[in-house]
Amino acid sequence: MIDTLKRKGGCSSCGGVDDDSRLLGGSVILTKLEAINNWGRKYSFFQYPFVTACCGMEFMSVCGPKYDLDRFGAALPRFSPRQADLLMVVGTISHKQAPILVKVYNQMAEPKWVFAFGVCAVSGGFYDNYATVQGIDTLIPVDIYVPGCPPRPEMVIDGLIKLQQKVMESRWSDYPKGASPVSNDK
Amino acid sequence: MAANLIESIVKILFIFSVNIGFFSPILGWVERKQSALMQDRVGANRADVCGFTLIGLFHPIADAIKVLTKEDFIPEGADRLFHTIAPFISLTPAIITFAVIPFGGQYELFGHHVNLIIADLDVGILFVFAFASLASFGSVLAGWSSNNNWSFLGGLRASAQMLSYEVVMGLNIIGVIMVYGTLRLSQIGAMQADFFNWGIFLQPVGFVLFFTCAIAENKRAPFDVAEAESELVAGYFTEYSGMKFVMFWMGEFLEIVTIGALVTTMFFGAWHLPFVSDQMLLNYFRFAGPNGAASLAIVVNIITFFSKVIFFIWLQMTIRWTLPRFRYDQVMRLGWKMFLPIALINIFITGVVILAK
């Protein structure tokens, strides 16, 4: 069943309705609720800036006048995780910091996305030691990895556009339905 | 009877569509663009429908779709009933106060007397204050029912701040009431037909204090000690997500509009153009016949009134993005030790001038 659905919904930009329209000979225009839903979500990321290290400087630059993340509708920081959609993990996560990150992730209301900003968040970077988490994907699911030490603002914007494409492609069956929180034991 | 009913329904629908349909979504966009302007950025402009971006005007729609489909969260240990009704309590007063604010004069239209105000109460200005005070219940209940320390502190701060500034606001309008001799907002508006009778000339100190206190009453920066992102996470609505959280924002935005409308009505000549009275407008439009003249005058009244309101909305946005925020003790000191004595002196001087006339 799921395979059939996947094969049917191939188109990324219009929520996978092209096949159905062709079957009906173009006599009707079809769209899906998830298309408008995804459209709204991709242009309205309220971020939670989880800034722990030097990448924060580059994050400020992305939000500042020259690169301006607000153009993509993603510049409204909400410091309460309940209201945020996009968890920006900016910088090194030490093992001491890890439970806090997991807690913040679990506190966020669905739908939520995670953005690993910089090589330390992606893989631990050159901090290959006992104190640093080797990539935040060992703790929480990550949607977009942007490496670099620190990443250029252009890379961050590229990552954000990729995330927007990912959101646009997400389907009704992928939407969270009360998934259990990430365990805090690691 | 039927004509009265139709008139009331039309006016209510008009105010509702202007406030809920126009101002509350567009102010989200205005705030973003104003912040972008102040910070030398471009601001939100990428949301597109069929390739058209319309300088970012689709972003409020995207935001609305997102918050409507976001998880509605009620924290563990929270009071579910009060946690749910608190956003409604803080949104309702902002909508309801517009009922007593006049947006035009009184005309004869097709033999029917039209008064451009939804409810012409003789205690209009007290009605506004009664409902503005109710808004503090929303903040306090939101903070208390969330079962969260930061929310609770935010709620306490909100109540302290709103109560303090309501005192000064009340003392300020006493000056206005003394000058115009009425509580009815439509009469206060009608008495400002003469340009030099505008409240700004009769009560200049009152205007400055009232406007400042109104911004403080609305809990926006520079008086955002109740939200206080740097101290209290997000203040009294920390534990709110999705549409309930946005309802607090809608309340805030609609209060901006209400403040603009109140300031316009009491200090900036309400629906009057400078040096142009309603009778002169009717004379200008005499070519259209009596009914046509009245309709055109109504349109001019409404456009004038809302242009002034939009100017004051812009002014509040500019203040919000210009000034750094106050500390909690500074807000209290400003309210009780500076504004309160100035307001009392203002009342005294107003009384002396009225007696000496």
Spell out which residues of chain A touch residue B58, defining contact as CB-CB under 8 Å.
Answer: 43
Task: Give the pLDDT score at B45.
Answer: 84
Q: Is the pLDDT of residue A178 over 70?
A: no
Average per-residue pLDDT in chain B? 86
For the record, the structure tokens of B216 come out as 């403080």
Task: Give the pLDDT score at B42.
Answer: 85
Spell out which residues of chain B touch residue A72, defining contact as CB-CB under 8 Å.
Answer: 44, 46
**Least CB–CB distance from B44: residue in A42, A73, A79:** A73
CA distances from A31 to A23, B45, B60 (A): 14, 24, 22
The pLDDT confidence band at residue B162, using thresholds 50, 70 and 90, is: confident
Task: Give the pLDDT score at A11.
Answer: 40
Look at strands A46-51 and A76-77 and give their pairing. parallel
Average per-residue pLDDT in chain A? 80
Q: Which of A172, A138, A153, A148 is nearest to A60 (CA)?
A: A153
Q: How many CB atoms lie within 10 A of CB B177?
A: 16
CA–CA dist B122, B131 (Å, integer): 16
Task: Give the pLDDT score at B345.
Answer: 93
The torsion of the CA quartet B186, B190, B192, B194, rounded to 10 degrees, works out to 170
Domain boundaries, chain B: 78-356
Alpha-carbon distance B30 to nearest alpha carbon in chain A (angstroms): 13
Phi, psi of B286 (to 5 degrees): -60, -25
**Least CB–CB distance from B66: residue in A40, A68, A80:** A40
- Identify from B39, B65, B66 which residue to disrupt to test chain A contact, counting A C-beta atoms within 10 A and taking the largest count: B66
**Least CB–CB distance from B239: residue in A36, A43, A82:** A82
Q: Is the pLDDT of residue A99 over 80?
A: yes
Alpha-carbon distance B50 to nearest alpha carbon in chain A (angstroms): 11
Q: With CB atoms and an 8 Å threshold, state whether B63 touches A44.
A: yes
**Least CB–CB distance from B71: residue in A41, A78, A109:** A109
Q: Is the pLDDT of residue A183 over 70?
A: no
Mark A57-73 as b/e (b = at least 16 C-beta within 10 Å): ebbebbbbeebbbbbbb
Q: In what order do the strands lie in the sheet with A46-51?
A: A76-77, A46-51, A86-90, A113-117, A144-146
Task: Give the pLDDT score at A3.
Answer: 40
Cβ-contact B316, B260 below 8 angstroms: yes
pLDDT 10s digits, B308-346: 999 999 999 999 888 888 888 888 888 899 999 999 999
**Least CB–CB distance from A70: residue in B43, B61, B241:** B43
pLDDT 10s digits, A147-176: 888 898 999 999 999 999 888 888 877 777
The DSSP call for residue A96 is T
Residues of B with CB under 8 A from a CB of A: 32, 36, 39-47, 58-59, 61-67, 69-73, 229, 233-234, 237-242, 245
Q: With CB atoms and an 8 Å threshold, state whether A73 touches B62.
A: yes
pLDDT 10s digits, B107-157: 877 777 878 888 888 888 888 888 888 888 888 888 888 888 888 888 888
| Mean pLDDT, range A64-82, rounded to an integer | 85
Cβ-contact B301, B104 below 8 angstroms: yes
**Least CB–CB distance from B229: residue in A68, A79, A82:** A79
pLDDT 10s digits, A4-41: 334 444 344 444 455 665 666 667 766 778 888 888 88
Task: Give the pLDDT score at A180.
Answer: 59
Task: Give the pLDDT score at A158.
Answer: 92
| Mean pLDDT, range B203-230, rounded to an integer | 85
Indicate the helix (H) or strand (E) that contains A117. strand A113-117
Spell out which residues of chain B touch residue A75, defining contact as CB-CB under 8 Å.
Answer: 44
Task: Report ipTM (2 d.p.).
Answer: 0.80
**B10: exposed, middle or buried (Cβ count in 10 Å: 0-12, 13-18, 19+):** exposed
Q: With CB atoms and an 8 Å threshold, state whether A70 touches B70.
A: no
Helix (H, G, I), strand (E, B) or coil at A49: strand
Domain boundaries, chain A: 2-31, 46-170
- Asked if A68 reaches chain B (Cβ–Cβ under 8 Å), the answer is yes
Q: Is the pLDDT of residue B173 over 60?
A: yes
**Higher pLDDT pick, A173 / A178:** A173
CA distances from A135 to A66, A131, A146, B81 (A): 29, 12, 12, 41
The pLDDT confidence band at residue B252, using thresholds 50, 70 and 90, is: confident
**Least CB–CB distance from A71: residue in B46, B233, B245:** B46
Phi, psi of A98 (to 5 degrees): -55, -45
Task: Give the pLDDT score at A145.
Answer: 92
The DSSP call for residue B194 is S
Q: With CB atoms and an 8 Å threshold, state whether A68 touches B58.
A: no
Spell out which residues of chain A touch residue B66, defining contact as CB-CB under 8 Å.
Answer: 40-41, 44, 85
- Identify from A29, A44, A100, A157 which residue to disrupt to test chain B contact, counting B C-beta atoms within 10 A and taking the largest count: A44
- Asked if A39 reaches chain B (Cβ–Cβ under 8 Å), the answer is yes
Q: With CB atoms and an 8 Å threshold, state whether B42 touches A44.
A: no
Q: Which CATH class is domain A46-170?
A: alpha beta
Spell out which residues of chain A touch residue B242, defining contact as CB-CB under 8 Å.
Answer: 109
- Asked if A179 reaches chain B (Cβ–Cβ under 8 Å), the answer is no
B35 → chain A, closest CA residue = A70
| Mean pLDDT, range B62-75, rounded to an integer | 86
